[in-house]
Structure 1
């Protein structure tokens, strides 16, 4: 999927990316996209931020855990 202009992009080499699909009500998807747009981040990065908030103890040594601690 092509990136959306203006959104920050993840550094190359994050590695280990896997597809994730789910079905949500339309109003949830609209809110999700609105929040990502307002923060200037991708939907996948918003999902990472959400999981880092809900579970603040990520697996040691993962790229996303190091990013979360830096931000």
Structure 2
């Protein structure tokens, strides 16, 4: 399976939106850099997780 790539320059632009939506939460700071995790209480995050499982099922069927 391939790797997931992202543009690090977009992270500072995206995180405030995700924080506002409650999808991610800041957990701590390490050397002045904020650390984040996906909020397990977020319905948006739960829907994204379900979408990932559904997508994996479709990919497995096509394999």
State if a TM-score over 0.5 links the two structures: no
Structure number with bigger Rg: 2
**Higher percent of residues as strand:** 2
Structure showing greater relative contact order (alpha-carbon pairs closer than 8 Å, 6 or more residues apart): 1
